[in-house]
Chain A
Amino acid sequence: MRWPWRRRAREIELTEEIQAHLEMAVAQRIERGESPAVARDHALREFGNTTHVAEVTREMWGGASWDAFVRDIRYAARGLRRSPTFTAVAVATFALGIGANTAMFTVVNGALLKPLPFAQPDRLVFLTHWPAELGASSRSGLSDHTFVEIRATPWRAFALLASFSGSQMTLTGTGDAERLSTAVVSANLTTTLGVSAAIGRTFTAAEEQAGDDHVVLLSDTFWRERFGGARSVLGTSIVLDNVSYTVIGVMPPTFDFPHGAALWTPLVVRPDPNVFAIRPVIARLSAGTTMEAARRELESTLARLPSTKDEKPGTQITAVSPLADLLVARARPLLWIFSGAVSFVLLIACANVANLLLIRAATRGHEIGVRVALGAGRGRIVRQLVTESALVACIGGAAGLVLSMWGVRVILATAPAGRIPRGSEITVDWRVLGVTFGVALVAGLVCGIFPALASTRRDPREALSTSGRTVAGSHDRIRRVFVIAQLALAIVLATGAGLLLKSFSRMRAVDPGFRASGVVTFSASLPAAAFPNAVDVRTFDASVVDRLRQLPGVESASMVNWMPLGRAGLVHGGLQIEGVSTVPKGYDVDKLVIAPGYFGTMGIRLFAGRDFDSGDNHSSRPVTIVTRSVARKFWPPDGLGALGQRLTKDRGDDWNTIVGIVDDVAQQGVTYGRDVAQYFPLTQTETVPFINNVNFVLRTARTAQELTPSLRAIVHELNPVVALRNIRSMDDVVAASMADPRFETRLLAIFAALALLLAAVGTYGVLAYDVAARTHELGVRVALGAVSHDVVRVVVRRTLALVVPGLLLGLIGALAVTRVLQKSLFEVTPTDPATLVAVSGVLLLVALIAGLAPTRRAMRVDPMTALRSE
């Protein structure tokens, strides 16, 4: 790189050097007897083009000189200012293409690429030992028994082992009772992750003992919200689930593990011989250990441990995986699919700009010809043209960056909770900036180099002899190839979006077995410390239902321990039927506890028998209600024979008489289908954990918002330690259960719409230019007697020549790649013919609309003007 000021001096020197050469040549000729005028003339002719000589000589000074660069930029800026329409369209196209990609990359970068915010995150792993029959992917961890044993084992591969699990606790004593997301963690979790408290300390091993575990670490957010960020919080007590905990520290703001925890309490592991509880286990690898070595050591150790040594070989999955997988594995495929989709948008944008540049170069043929004739080297002109497109791309990139910040906010705001991990780490950083401008530069170069080469290849004489307009034919084929490619890419995206849309509408059309509209629901959690016995819980639940029924505008009210379409905690179990010995192994039904009036309130059909009523209590005979599919399975054909029969759990002898048959309900999500279930009355339920996290349902014409104060008042009055959560309409619950597909559909639809828009602009551009360049030809045709529909036919034929190949290629492409959406599709195959047809129709329509304006212009061609303009 030569410095600008030195460069300037050299320019002057070069001019002087050339001047001296000329002076000497003139002097020599005069000496030979030529007249001064003739001598000068001859010397000049002999020397050749001084500008050219200076130009090619300057090129020897080094290619990337700062000065030449600045000159190119200035020249490009001037050129762009001269054609504001081109500039605006090109910048807007790049802004959309790059903006969408930057937004997506910002998300991918924050969620997947950035290292986890822990010390040496690549040494952090999680352990899996899990029955193979339960499937590998969804859950990971070790059983409580195994965890206790491996912690007591000396390890070579693992320096530290820790566990954690997400939980919820009710905070009381500071205003309304509040249900918080919390976590219970091994004392050494923070050490394992390499994080320490911002103020105070983290847990000690002694605090993992039951009785000594009433200490709590606060998250930065919770500390600031609840305690105004006061350091005096250390040593004070807060009440969680009716138990007092001492605050021992506050974690730094960056610490968010597991995600969303407001506070952390020590994990006390009490292995229960009857329960196979699985907990995530993380570890820090010892220095120099590989993941594979760690896995082998884990495997050989598990073969010796009491809890696992009797397992048959091959029945378990044993794995050591990067911790990042545990956090982001679920989001990864989706994010990559979207990144792929959005890169199509950028490709389409690039094709658009390349086409614009080709057209621009064609109309500038004259200007370029003049510059060549004036002695500018081809390399120089190419460099200038490419500088121009790179400049456009960089301006577009900057605009795109601004757009993307808004886009990221929209993506994060519309993404269902937990769908995109590490949300707080998703920000524009140097990597995003670098990639954005890298992409912009590459896009600018790629778009620019081709038109630049193509437009400088022509002989300047040709460019100058024609007035620079009738070069329509040049690069025609390239432009058409670009448009066909755009249309094909747009088709692929539109097909993806179409499939998701269809799948989503199928989901919405599913009848869940209940009537959601007009139902308001909320959840309440009863801390075990405040409600130790089943009778306390039952009394509380029943009193709430009673009070709810008395609220004005409430038609009916009831409760259920599991909200249909809820997130987690549904209880399944087997059953035995009195007199029937043939219940198939593995036939599980949902076990739900309800208060009377639940079916009526939820609009679940009662087919036969009766609902529970006040006559069913702990002293009357135990009763149950089954769903229609259960009844039909064991008492075919209509299931009515079920009434009066007796059921019990797979073990045990507490027989329940069937008193009613109700409709099956989609309990776990509309795409799971409807569940077979068995209902029990609240009044006959003795197991506290079944009924201390409950949902109340109300059938009412009033909204959740209107009811909120009354609901809070009712619960608070009955017991102030109970926290209400999720006061919302049942419609919202249904919508929330479809939040993932809605988000995916919406995002892909936006990308597809962008793609179609850009492809339409591209098609329009080429057709409009076509018509403009063929004004003469069309004029001749009209002059020779062609009527307007002949002219229309010409344009339509040109349009179809673009659309048909684009459509075919696009459909082939779609068939090849829509498979990646398989997992997101419900009742729709990735090659759904109806969707392909619909998408083709949409594309045709878009292309015809794009062709409309050029066609009208073509029809209005006046032969006189058209012919005279030549």
Chain B
Amino acid sequence: MSGGQSRIELLQGTLDFIILQTLRWEPQHGFGLAQMIRAHSSGTLQVDTGSLYPALHRLERAKLIAAKWDKSDKGQRVRVYTLTAAGRKRLAAERTKWERMTQAIAGILNPPLAEGKS
């Protein structure tokens, strides 16, 4: 439906990883998460709400994140998600995997520049 030409559609596993990663800094509600992901990727990653909320609820069901109701700084009642211990552990694992993969892909894309960190 919506989606710009330069934006990248996220793979499911990737979105989970990004959510966990984003929640590492502070608890956040859905809207805030969408904003942060867009901001951190300089607008490249556009998170569709139809993917974000299912992902949040899925992660919650998997006990990687926990949710509770809270007031936003503007007084709005919001559902805030926090990373759990299990979520942290998973994030660390995913991170290692992710780094290994980006290295590998970088290696494939830039063969002469070996060991380059992107």
Is B57 a contact partner of A53 (Cβ separation < 8 A)? Answer: no
Contact of A20 among B1, B31, B57, B61 (CB under 8 A): B31
Is B2 a contact partner of A48 (Cβ separation < 8 A)? Answer: yes
Interface 9-residue window, one of B19-27, B72-80, B101-109: B72-80
Is A60 a contact partner of B79 (Cβ separation < 8 A)? Answer: no
A623 → chain B, closest Cβ, in Å? 99
12 extra interchain contacts, Cβ-Cβ under 8 A, other than A17-B79, A24-B31, A46-B2? A18-B49, A21-B31, A21-B34, A21-B49, A23-B76, A24-B76, A27-B76, A48-B50, A52-B50, A56-B54, A57-B57, A61-B61
List CB contacts (< 8 Å) of A1-52 with chain B.
13-14, 16-18, 20-21, 23-25, 27, 45-49, 52
Interface flag for B48 (CB, 8 Å): yes
Is B49 a contact partner of A60 (Cβ separation < 8 A)? Answer: no
Interface flag for A59 (CB, 8 Å): yes
Interface flag for B88 (CB, 8 Å): no
Interface flag for A84 (CB, 8 Å): no
Residues of B within 8 A of A18 (CB): 49, 53
Residues of A within 8 A of B30 (CB): 17, 20-21
Interface flag for A62 (CB, 8 Å): yes
The winner among A14, A45, A57 for most chain B CB atoms within 10 A is: A57
Q: What residues make up the interface of B, taking CB atoms closer than 8 Å to A?
A: 1-2, 29-32, 34, 48-50, 53-54, 56-58, 61, 69, 72, 74, 76-79
In the assembled complex, 6 residue pairs joining A and B whose CB atoms fall closer than 8 Å, in A order, are A21-B29, A24-B76, A46-B2, A48-B1, A49-B50, A60-B58
B58 → chain A, closest Cβ, in Å? 4
B15 → chain A, closest Cβ, in Å? 13
Is A56 a contact partner of B29 (Cβ separation < 8 A)? Answer: no
A59 CA to B56 CA, complexed, in Å: 12
Given A13-B79, A57-B53, does the pair A20, B29 have CB atoms closer than 8 Å? Answer: yes
Is A60 a contact partner of B2 (Cβ separation < 8 A)? Answer: no
A45 CA to B2 CA, complexed, in Å: 9
* Contact-size category for A: 20 to 34
Given A21-B30, A21-B31, A60-B57, does the pair A48, B49 have CB atoms closer than 8 Å? Answer: yes
A67 → chain B, closest Cβ, in Å? 15
Contact of B77 among A20, A49, A62 (CB under 8 A): A20
B3 → chain A, closest Cβ, in Å? 11
A20 CA to B74 CA, complexed, in Å: 11
Is A59 a contact partner of B31 (Cβ separation < 8 A)? Answer: no
Is A47 a contact partner of B79 (Cβ separation < 8 A)? Answer: no
A423 CA to B23 CA, complexed, in Å: 70
Residues of B within 8 A of A24 (CB): 29, 31-32, 72, 74, 76, 78
Is B57 a contact partner of A61 (Cβ separation < 8 A)? Answer: yes
Specify the chain A residue showing the minimal Cβ separation from B35.
A28
Specify the chain A residue showing the minimal Cβ separation from B78.
A20
Residues of A within 8 A of B56 (CB): 57
A117 CA to B6 CA, complexed, in Å: 77
Residues of B within 8 A of A47 (CB): 49
Is A62 a contact partner of B61 (Cβ separation < 8 A)? Answer: yes
Interface flags, A57-76, vs B, CB<8A=1, else 0: 10111100000000000000
Specify the chain A residue showing the minimal Cβ separation from B77.
A20
Residues of A within 8 A of B50 (CB): 48-49, 52-53, 56
Specify the chain A residue showing the minimal Cβ separation from B29.
A20
Specify the chain B residue showing the minimal Cβ separation from A17.
B79
Is B49 a contact partner of A53 (Cβ separation < 8 A)? Answer: yes
Residues of A within 8 A of B69 (CB): 13
A61 CA to B58 CA, complexed, in Å: 7
A373 → chain B, closest Cβ, in Å? 12
Specify the chain B residue showing the minimal Cβ separation from A45.
B2
Residues of A within 8 A of B61 (CB): 60-62
A47 CA to B2 CA, complexed, in Å: 10
Is B77 a contact partner of A16 (Cβ separation < 8 A)? Answer: yes
A294 → chain B, closest Cβ, in Å? 57
Residues of A within 8 A of B74 (CB): 24, 27
Residues of B within 8 A of A53 (CB): 49-50, 53
A587 CA to B50 CA, complexed, in Å: 92
Residues of B within 8 A of A60 (CB): 54, 57-58, 61
Specify the chain B residue showing the minimal Cβ separation from A52.
B50
Residues of B within 8 A of A61 (CB): 57, 61
Given A17-B30, A27-B74, does the pair A48, B54 have CB atoms closer than 8 Å? Answer: no
B20 → chain A, closest Cβ, in Å? 16
Specify the chain A residue showing the minimal Cβ separation from B32.
A24
Residues of A within 8 A of B57 (CB): 57, 60-61
Residues of B within 8 A of A62 (CB): 61
A401 → chain B, closest Cβ, in Å? 39
B74 → chain A, closest Cβ, in Å? 7
A14 CA to B32 CA, complexed, in Å: 16
Residues of B within 8 A of A14 (CB): 53
A775 CA to B74 CA, complexed, in Å: 64
Residues of B within 8 A of A27 (CB): 74, 76
Residues of A within 8 A of B53 (CB): 14, 17-18, 53, 56-57
Residues of B within 8 A of A46 (CB): 2
Residues of A within 8 A of B34 (CB): 21
A27 CA to B50 CA, complexed, in Å: 21
Top 8 A-B pairs, shortest CB-CB distance: A60-B57, A57-B53, A60-B58, A24-B31, A21-B31, A17-B79, A56-B54, A57-B54
The winner among A13, A21, A49, A62 for most chain B CB atoms within 10 A is: A21
A20 CA to B1 CA, complexed, in Å: 22
A60 CA to B60 CA, complexed, in Å: 9
A46 CA to B35 CA, complexed, in Å: 12
Residues of A within 8 A of B76 (CB): 20, 23-24, 27
Residues of A within 8 A of B79 (CB): 13, 16-17, 20
B64 → chain A, closest Cβ, in Å? 13
A554 → chain B, closest Cβ, in Å? 90
A42 → chain B, closest Cβ, in Å? 11
Contact of B48 among A13, A20, A48, A57 (CB under 8 A): A48
Residues of B within 8 A of A16 (CB): 77, 79
Specify the chain B residue showing the minimal Cβ separation from A49.
B50
Specify the chain A residue showing the minimal Cβ separation from B61.
A60
Residues of A within 8 A of B2 (CB): 45-46, 48
A336 → chain B, closest Cβ, in Å? 48
Residues of A within 8 A of B54 (CB): 56-57, 59-60
A622 → chain B, closest Cβ, in Å? 100
Specify the chain B residue showing the minimal Cβ separation from A22.
B31
A81 → chain B, closest Cβ, in Å? 33
B22 → chain A, closest Cβ, in Å? 16
Specify the chain B residue showing the minimal Cβ separation from A10.
B57
Contact of B31 among A13, A25, A45, A57 (CB under 8 A): A25
Residues of B within 8 A of A25 (CB): 31
Specify the chain A residue showing the minimal Cβ separation from B53.
A57
A639 CA to B55 CA, complexed, in Å: 101
A48 CA to B51 CA, complexed, in Å: 11
The winner among A17, A18, A27 for most chain B CB atoms within 10 A is: A17
A250 → chain B, closest Cβ, in Å? 63
A52 CA to B50 CA, complexed, in Å: 7
Residues of A within 8 A of B48 (CB): 48
A57 → chain B, closest Cβ, in Å? 4
A21 → chain B, closest Cβ, in Å? 4
A45 CA to B49 CA, complexed, in Å: 11
B45 → chain A, closest Cβ, in Å? 15
A166 CA to B64 CA, complexed, in Å: 74
A751 CA to B36 CA, complexed, in Å: 69
B95 → chain A, closest Cβ, in Å? 24
A25 CA to B78 CA, complexed, in Å: 13
A60 CA to B16 CA, complexed, in Å: 13
B98 → chain A, closest Cβ, in Å? 23
A14 CA to B78 CA, complexed, in Å: 11
Residues of A within 8 A of B29 (CB): 20-21, 24
A16 CA to B72 CA, complexed, in Å: 14
Specify the chain B residue showing the minimal Cβ separation from A50.
B49
A458 → chain B, closest Cβ, in Å? 19
Residues of B within 8 A of A56 (CB): 50, 53-54
A553 → chain B, closest Cβ, in Å? 90
